[in-house]
Amino acid sequence: MLIQAALGDIPTEDVDAIVNAANQSLAGGGGVDGAIHRAAGVAELHRACQALGGCATGDAKATFGFALSARWIIHAVGPRWRDGHHKEPELLASCYRRALEVADELGARRMAFPAISTGVHGYPPHEAAEVAMATLRSVPTRVEVVRLIAYDQATLDHYLDLLGPPWPQPAE
């Protein structure tokens, strides 16, 4: 799988599936979650999320993408940061793993993730990036391209540090 990192606005990503940093009720909210709901169509997405009956922390469920260019939205519920000793890394890794599993079930080949749990959930961005990268690199999947979409330069820098220097381009 190719892992890319970029600054961006996740609802505008041209991929098969985008991942939403959702809350347990899947009711929409602020940050990435609110932006995705507004871009997809609040009423349609709200009805689809209600039909799912919520989602546990560490799990992921899918809806259609509605007005988005992405065909699907995979709603992943990340943990709230307490101190790192209350299974936060395991729950965050589970979000990424479950999102990939759901993407495989849907047949998605290209997907985009936000920095799950680093907004209102307070997960330290560098530690969240480490969990994301380690999980993405370890989970077997048919997803071919994962884009890590950062909302600020500091988050992008964490991703780029973990990705390492770019490989040399082949000669033409």
Residues annotated as part of the active site? 33
Q: What is the DSSP string of 33-91?
A: HHHHHHHH-HHHHHHHHHHHT---TT-EEEEE-TTSSSSEEEEEEPPPPSSS-SSHHHH
Q: Containing H/E element for 158?
A: helix 153-163
Question: How many C-alpha atoms does 31 have within 13 Å on its Cβ side?
Answer: 17
Q: What are the backbone angles phi and psi of residue 33, rounded to the nearest 5°?
A: -55, -50
Q: What amino acid occupies position 16?
A: D
Q: How far apart are the first and last CA of the chain?
A: 23
8 Å CB contact between 70 and 114: no
Q: Please name the residue ranges forming H helices in 120-152.
A: 125-138
